[in-house]
Homo-oligomer: A and B are copies of this chain.
């Protein structure tokens, strides 16, 4: 039934510009679509194959596939990319199909999946399908379960998606470097029964961290702890999509961590449960309510909640230096120190010099001190009531009464109803 033959896909001219193999072989390769936009692609119901409810990738998209004789075929291209972290700052990363992270792969439990991986990086790579149950030879560990994929070559992974859940893909070759450069993507296997664990909205994102010197564009790849840009899908506040929900919706948020430290993800306004991991689904008796879930490296968590009440609810990592953007942290504490005499002297030498931190650092949320090129303010963002003073891993969960089902359009800021307006109080 399935004839197999030894094969290394060359980098074909029409796709990769290198032309190492015959056109007849290339004909078998599915398209490898690419984009460098950082805008959320609306979820689209599958037009063929088993039915499923698609996920929404924050600031991202899902990879199209084609059916080929009973197999779903996808094509990932590992390559250098540029990614806008937020308006005003772009990084030079490595990713897939024009982006870091790569596009989300979606399939259905029981699907036979074939993924072509073309390497357009300057060094070898592999892909490990984290959490997916598959044969040892498809596991993607360079040297251990397969030869590395050399630059210019295409490799083919084939497996049946045996169980539904929340997974990811990333290299298992020169791993610290390739992940520090942004190589990763989400992988969702939907349940065979579309009613199983059905939710109204199903968001997903991966966490990655970068060490990019202010004023530069390329991450340092040997950093172990002192990262300065903490991202969701390689985006930072205020560049991260809002999670828009209709009041009463059942909502799932799937998150995976490929940084170098834990991220305690905190949601305001409601409680949630961990309903799934990269190992599978969590039975109901084993769950408990949380407002902060700690996600370790190499872990994925699918949290679920009922979207009530309406409002603008902060959602962020609770490590406060992860909700800030890159800037020097070696500043001494000037609280209580009158810097005016020094500042006067400095201003003569450095026009524009600002006194920082004498009364705390809240001023920085609105600061206008010139920044290096391609650098975001440490604390930034503006809400309906003034500066939000955040950065990094921070966004807003927007729950609205009048949002339509399936509508992810940002509704703007929440209009506080009478009775919760801030500067009122109930007189005695």
Interface set of A (CB-CB < 8 Å, partner B)? 2-8, 28, 68-69, 71, 80, 92, 114, 121-124, 128, 130-131, 133-139, 141-148, 155-156, 158, 172-181, 218-226, 260-262, 264, 266, 268-272, 277-283, 285-292, 294, 296-299, 309-314, 318-321, 323-324, 328-333, 335-336, 357-365, 379, 381-390, 396, 414, 416-428
Contacts and interface: CB of A to CB of B under 8 A. Distances in A.
Nearest to A163: B271
B426 A71 contact: yes
Given A92-B336, A174-B361, A264-B298, A139 B423 contact: no
B296 A318 contact: yes
A177 to B, nearest CB: 5
Nearest 3 CB-CB pairings of A with B: A136-B311, A298-B318, A137-B420
Nearest to A332: B220
Contacts of A156: 423-425
A330 B142 contact: no
A422 B147 contact: yes
A379 B174 contact: yes
B4 A424 contact: yes
A218 B384 CA distance: 34
Contacts of A175: 320, 323, 389-390
Nearest to A131: B291
Contact of A5 (B147, B277, B424): B424
A2 B272 CA distance: 32
A311 B215 CA distance: 47
Contact of A221 (B135, B173, B335): B335
Given A130-B291, A143-B388, A220-B333, 7 more contacts: A71-B426, A123-B360, A137-B416, A172-B314, A177-B362, A221-B357, A222-B328
B181 A335 contact: yes
Q: Which among A71, A223, A297 has the greatest number of chain B C-beta atoms within 10 A?
A: A297
A426 B6 CA distance: 10
30 contacts: A4-B426, A5-B425, A7-B424, A123-B359, A135-B309, A136-B414, A139-B269, A141-B268, A141-B314, A141-B383, A143-B384, A143-B386, A144-B314, A146-B422, A147-B422, A174-B361, A175-B320, A175-B323, A176-B323, A176-B324, A221-B357, A222-B331, A264-B299, A266-B298, A271-B279, A279-B290, A281-B288, A285-B286, A292-B297, A294-B294
